[in-house]
């Protein structure tokens, strides 16, 4: 708006003068121009501050997964706008980025990825680097659980499933926001401190809940290895036919499915679980063959839709634990 009015002022005063008048106009001309510029700048309808508000000057953080976006919202408050590439129920391993994702990332002041190839073939990093936007990796500082696939040993990327690791994500997000926006660093730190209390409470609550399941019955069977950190933290055995990624491995061998069926029978597993981000056919087939019930649906690589009980990280963890306890106790 300011730019437009300034142009108008110049036009208004240059029209009576020929272009060749140029320097000859001298001081008087520039005095009038500067006076009018001051008036324009002081006019309430054209203040720079208002223009900034209208054009939305909030900084933008673009997150890869729904969990990371929830952490970011808890730390950024209203100072930043939080965008997320994945939606509820979307699978990060097999996700294919869109033109709209590239556009969002190009406008980001900061990008956040999970890391350790949760985003299949590093799609979030590719987007950020393609637009030369800064990116932070949320698993930085997490002690990795190792797993294997056809390529050899890899770091299990599903680290958020342990609330203690979620705190490491939050710290990385807090530091990333503070580095780019130091004026609000104190606010980010205060919000992170509160969230840490919530994560600590969550962990204590999960401990009390899972204690309803005898140790020998703590066997968590789901579609893919999303629950390794959860199982490690709360003394479960994690078993899945798929492996750590739904994208890296092509399908599941009948032999692998059979070994899961036999394990379920041998251990007397009471329930097995489907995942919100994956089709349920394979788990349904295993349940049928092993003669075991499906204990419900677990939030694995994405949170629930807005308005659902699993729409936040704490909500998804709570609902998962309640489902698991109901199914296995
Ligand atoms: Zn996964």
List, for residues 6-25, the tens digit of each pLDDT value.
333 333 333 333 333 334 44
Q: What is the pLDDT of residue 245?
A: 75
Residues 80 and 152 in one domain: yes
**271 found inside a domain:** yes
pLDDT band at 250 (very low <50, low <70, confident <90, very high): low
CA of 157 to the centre of ligand 1 (A): 8
Residues 276 and 151 in one domain: no
**140 found inside a domain:** yes
CA of 197 to the centre of ligand 1 (A): 27
CA of 300 to the centre of ligand 1 (A): 7
Which pTM does this prediction carry?
0.81
Q: β-pairing, 146-149 with 152-155?
A: antiparallel
**141 found inside a domain:** yes
Phi and psi of 153, rounded to 5°?
A: -80, 135
Residues 250 and 196 in one domain: no
CA of 158 to the centre of ligand 1 (A): 6
Average pLDDT score over residue span 213-219: 96
CA of 134 to the centre of ligand 1 (A): 25
| 151-196 per-position pLDDT tens digit | 889 999 999 999 999 999 999 999 999 999 999 999 999 999 999 9
The domain that contains 322 carries what CATH number?
3.40.50.1980
CA of 46 to the centre of ligand 1 (A): 50
CA of 247 to the centre of ligand 1 (A): 9
Number of domains composing the chain: 3
CA of 66 to the centre of ligand 1 (A): 13
- 3-class secondary structure, 150: coil
Residues 62 and 194 in one domain: yes
CA of 266 to the centre of ligand 1 (A): 27
Contact 291, 265 (CB under 8 A): yes
30 versus 58: which is more confidently predicted? 58
Q: What is the pLDDT of residue 247?
A: 66
CA of 191 to the centre of ligand 1 (A): 28
Residues with CB under 5 A from ligand 1 (ion): 226, 301
Average pLDDT score over residue span 61-87: 98
CA of 251 to the centre of ligand 1 (A): 14
Question: How many whole angstroms separate alpha carbon 14 and alpha carbon 37?
Answer: 15
Residues 37 and 83 in one domain: no
**306 found inside a domain:** yes
Residues 10 and 132 in one domain: no
Q: What is the pLDDT of residue 149?
A: 80
Q: Which domain holds residue 170?
A: 57-202
Residues 232 and 312 in one domain: yes
Q: What is the pLDDT of residue 303?
A: 96
Q: β-pairing, 110-113 with 146-149?
A: unpaired
Q: What is the pLDDT of residue 56?
A: 59
CA of 302 to the centre of ligand 1 (A): 9
Which of 174, 202, 230 is the C-terminal boundary of a domain?
Answer: 202
Residues 244 and 135 in one domain: no
Q: Residue 302: is its pLDDT beyond 80? A: yes
CA of 110 to the centre of ligand 1 (A): 24
Contact 87, 64 (CB under 8 A): no
**207 found inside a domain:** no
Residues 175 and 270 in one domain: no
Residues 121 and 197 in one domain: yes
Which of 202, 225, 253 is the C-terminal boundary of a domain?
Answer: 202
CA of 301 to the centre of ligand 1 (A): 5
CA of 180 to the centre of ligand 1 (A): 30
CA of 224 to the centre of ligand 1 (A): 7
Residues 62 and 191 in one domain: yes
Question: How many whole angstroms separate alpha carbon 176 and alpha carbon 111?
Answer: 9
189 Cβ contact partners less than 8 Å away, ≥ 6 residues apart: 174, 178
Ramachandran class of 306: left when φ > 0, alpha when ψ lies in -120 to 50, beta otherwise? beta
Which of 54, 70, 96 is the C-terminal boundary of a domain?
Answer: 54
Question: How many whole angstroms separate alpha carbon 139 and alpha carbon 95?
Answer: 19
**85 found inside a domain:** yes
**301 found inside a domain:** yes
Question: How many whole angstroms separate alpha carbon 206 and alpha carbon 273?
Answer: 18
CA of 51 to the centre of ligand 1 (A): 43
**123 found inside a domain:** yes
CA of 29 to the centre of ligand 1 (A): 68
Residue with tokens 């054009």, as numbered in its chain: 55
Question: How many whole angstroms separate alpha carbon 88 and alpha carbon 310?
Answer: 9
The rounded mean pLDDT for the chain is 85
Residues 34 and 118 in one domain: no
């Amino acid at each position: 708006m300011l730019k437009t009015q300034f142009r108008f002022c110049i036009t208004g005063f240059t029209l009576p003068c020929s272009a060749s008048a140029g320097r000859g106009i001298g001081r008087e001309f520039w005095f009038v121009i500067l006076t009018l510029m001051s008036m324009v700048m002081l006019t309430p309808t054209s203040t720079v501050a208002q223009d900034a508000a209208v054009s939305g000057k909030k900084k933008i953080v673009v997150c890869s997964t729904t969990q990371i976006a929830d952490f970011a919202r808890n730390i950024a408050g209203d100072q930043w706008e939080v965008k997320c590439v994945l939606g509820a129920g979307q699978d990060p391993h097999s996700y294919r980025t869109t033109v709209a994702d590239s556009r969002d990332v190009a406008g980001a002041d900061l990008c956040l990825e999970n890391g350790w190839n949760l985003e299949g073939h590093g799609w979030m990093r590719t987007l950020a680097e393609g637009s030369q936007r800064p990116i932070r990796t949320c698993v930085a500082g997490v002690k990795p659980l190792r797993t294997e696939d056809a390529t050899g040993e890899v770091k299990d990327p599903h680290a958020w499933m342990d609330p203690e690791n979620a705190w490491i994500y939050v710290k990385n997000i807090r530091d990333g926001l503070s580095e780019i926006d130091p004026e609000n660093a104190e606010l980010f730190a205060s919000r992170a401190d509160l969230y840490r209390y919530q994560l600590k409470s969550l962990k204590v609550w999960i401990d009390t809940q899972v204690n309803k399941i005898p140790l020998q019955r703590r066997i968590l069977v789901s579609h893919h290895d999303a629950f390794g950190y959860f199982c490690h933290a709360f003394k479960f055995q994690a078993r899945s036919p798929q492996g750590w990624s739904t994208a890296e491995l092509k399908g599941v061998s009948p032999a692998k499915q059979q070994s899961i069926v036999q394990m379920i029978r041998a251990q007397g597993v009471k329930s097995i679980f489907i995942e919100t981000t994956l089709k349920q056919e394979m788990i349904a087939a295993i349940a049928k063959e092993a003669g075991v019930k499906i204990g419900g649906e677990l939030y694995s690589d994405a949170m629930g839709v807005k308005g659902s009980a699993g729409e936040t990280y704490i909500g998804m963890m709570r609902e998962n634990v309640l489902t698991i306890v109901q199914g296995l106790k």
